[in-house]
Amino acid sequence: MEERLANHTLITDAADLGGIAKTLEEVEFIGVDSETTGLSPRDGRIRLLQLATPDETFVVDVFGTGNLAPLKEVLEDGPVKVLQNAKFDYSFLIAEHGISLSPIFDTMLAAQLLAGGDQGPSFSLEAVAERYAGIELDKSARMEDWSGRLSEAQIEYAARDAAVLLPLRERLAEELEEEKLGAVSKIEFQAVAAIAEMELAGIKLDVQKWKELEKTVRERRDAAALAVEEQFPEPDGMLPGLGPRLNLNSPRQIMDAFRSLGVDLPDTRVWTLLKVDHPAARLLLEYRELQKRLGTYLETYPSFINPKTGRIHANFLQCRVPTGRLACTSPNIQQIPHEDEFRSCFVAERGNTLVIADYSQIELRILAEVSEDPGFVRAFQEGEDLHRVTAATMFGVEKDAVTKEQRSAAKRINFGLAYGRGAKSLSAQLGTDEGRARGLIDEYFANYPKVQRYLQSTAARAVKTRTLRTLSGRVRKFPDPSGMDSLAKGGMRREAMNYPVQGASADIAKVALAYVRQELRGLDARLINCIHDEFVIECAEEIAPEVSEKIKAAMTRAGGKLLKKVPAEVEVAISREWRK
């Protein structure tokens, strides 16, 4: 094995690339890795491109060869390209050389799928190689300078990183097959290209509009702080005009202040404050939300704008959440507040527009699919508004007579129970007492009995077998509940109830990512954001109607891959700003 990993050839002449391409065409799998001078194509370049076959590893010095065009065809088709964290290498190759790697096997994603949602172990190449193939790698050269003259040790280090991917793939592929994760691994591997290209495209923030909103929200925050203080009696001996007398970020001071009103709080958490029948609690929650929006979004997001592109290029994490949902960092553009005043600050470039497409009630459609409840299934098959149908049955009125408030309550119950919420949580959300919330839950399950049986059996199965799967086979491995207290067990049961639903939603979204990318080929259009079941595409204004139809068709087709009993529906809007 050591000899196989160390056998490498350094390529510095572009004339040799054609011969290498012919050699690569003859194998089934190619180990692919790169060494770069930066962490993104916006601030670095590819220095080395390592291409491993079972017999030899070619280390291409890209600074010497320049154009990689002779390798384009074999890298974009033919043998499976095996990579660790494929998104990284894909981004550099397509940005710098126009090469779109395909097909892909990602060892990091494979290991994360096998972990079943456990994020405890490391998924670095050295950790995965040792864990699955028993190969130890020395990664000390990783932080060395790759822009100047390279040492033989650096060349050998680079070659081993590519060569190790081939035996590692063999072991991972065996485990994926044993764990029945072959289908979902293909979904993940096929989504890599779309996610990498989405990061490279970035999203545009109207900074002036954002700064104006920051000023407005700060004024609201300050007004909310004053309004909160006015609810409490002034402490004895306090002189006026000396500034804030209450630290609204101090739980102890807040609890003392409420005690002065005759309200004893066990804590100052949201769910506790929601149940307090005093305007001070509502105003405090309003203040906190405004403070959060300032600190989390308004004051920080402009600093993430890349000076070269003028856009925000967030980092999307593909398998870092147990359900399979995409996560997002630096910054998290998935969690922008839904209000138009925030989202409208994200805009298209001049001459472009945005196409915003999202699935209609996808998680409830999945719940209908997996529970097979006839009421749920029928509502979606007949194109009815499930929230209105639920409200009519729960409140005993005709569908046409359902009020806006009743529909809103039914919507919260539909989604709340799908997430395993109980009477306590639901009562806080609905603004009612626990007895009334419990009665609504009982009425709900009386109308949808198979939903109740499905949720209960799913939670019981997680406790008993400690394993659940989504419609695509994505696995979630739960810890042993025997040593848990009742609170922890309750949390595990709630997580279990929702996992197959939210996980299937993530599966559908990732299938859709690949389909959307295919539909956009050759068009002046690109995916710029994905918020779970919502996709944002930027395109030339004149082709927006065409792009809308293509995106809707692609997303509907993706839903149909997993949903067989109910249809997937997609709503599409066109706007220069990110709002519908």
Name the 3-class secondary structure at 147: coil
* H or E element at residue 277: none
Q: For 422-446, what is the mean pLDDT?
A: 79
Name the 3-class secondary structure at 39: coil
Yes or no: say if 568 and 508 are a contact pair by the CB < 8 Å rule. Answer: yes
Residues recorded for the chain: 580
| Numbered ranges of CATH 3.30.70.370 in the chain | 314-362+506-575
- Does domain 363-500 fall under CATH 1.10.150.20? My reply is yes
| Numbered ranges of CATH 3.30.420.10 in the chain | 2-179
Which is more confidently placed, 490 or 184? 184
Tokens representing 84 are: 């660790």
pLDDT at position 4 is 56
* H or E element at residue 554: helix 544-562
Name the 3-class secondary structure at 291: helix
The domain made up of 207-301 has a fold known as Taq DNA Polymerase; Chain T, domain 4 (1.20.1060)
Rounded to the nearest 10 degrees, how much is the dihedral formed by the CA atoms of 414, 419, 425, 426? 0
CATH of 314-362+506-575, one of 1.20.960.40, 3.30.70.370, 3.30.565.10, 3.40.50.620: 3.30.70.370
pLDDT at position 239 is 44
The pLDDT of residue 397 is above 70: yes
**Rounded percentage of the chain residues whose pLDDT exceeds 90:** 75
Q: Which CATH superfamily is 2-179 part of?
A: Ribonuclease H-like superfamily/Ribonuclease H (3.30.420.10)
* H or E element at residue 398: none
**CA 362 from centroid of its chain's CA atoms:** 16
pLDDT in tens, 60-82: 999 999 999 999 999 999 999 99
Range with lowest mean pLDDT among 5-14, 288-297, 490-499: 5-14
Q: Mean pLDDT across the chain, nearest whole number?
A: 92
pLDDT at position 242 is 44
Yes or no: say if 345 and 213 are a contact pair by the CB < 8 Å rule. Answer: yes
Pairing assessment for the beta strands 29-36 and 80-83 based on DSSP bridges: parallel
**CA 533 from centroid of its chain's CA atoms:** 10
SS (H, E, C) 152-195: HHHHHHHHHHHHCHHHHHHHHHHHHHHCCCHHHHHHHHHHHHHH
Whether omega for the bond prior to residue 103 falls within 30 degrees of 0, making it cis, is yes
pLDDT at position 1 is 46
Distance separating alpha carbons of residues 201 and 511, to the nearest angstrom:
20
Which is more confidently placed, 421 or 201? 201
Q: Which residues contact 143 (CB under 8 A, 6 or more apart)?
A: none
What backbone phi and psi angles, to 5 degrees, belong to 547? -65, -40
Binned at pLDDT 50, 70 and 90, residue 97 comes out as: very high
Torsion over CA: 273, 279, 282, 283 (sign): negative
What backbone phi and psi angles, to 5 degrees, belong to 353? -145, 170
Binned at pLDDT 50, 70 and 90, residue 386 comes out as: confident
What letter represents residue 442's amino acid? D
Q: For 421-445, what is the mean pLDDT?
A: 78
Binned at pLDDT 50, 70 and 90, residue 301 comes out as: very high
Among the listed residues 209, 243, 251, 208, the one whose alpha carbon sits nearest the alpha carbon of residue 226: 243
Range with lowest mean pLDDT among 300-304, 485-489, 561-565: 485-489
Among the listed residues 27, 415, 263, 456, the one whose alpha carbon sits nearest the alpha carbon of residue 254: 263
Half-sphere exposure of residue 382: CA atoms within 13 angstroms, side-chain side: 10
Range with lowest mean pLDDT among 4-18, 35-49, 346-360, 542-556: 4-18
| Numbered ranges of CATH 1.20.1060 in the chain | 207-301
What backbone phi and psi angles, to 5 degrees, belong to 205? -110, 130
Yes or no: say if 148 and 1 are a contact pair by the CB < 8 Å rule. Answer: no
Name the 3-class secondary structure at 567: coil
Binned at pLDDT 50, 70 and 90, residue 5 comes out as: low
Q: For 179-188, what is the mean pLDDT?
A: 98
Name the 3-class secondary structure at 361: coil
| Numbered ranges of CATH 1.10.150.20 in the chain | 363-500
Tokens representing 266 are: 């066990």
Tokens representing 457 are: 């059996």
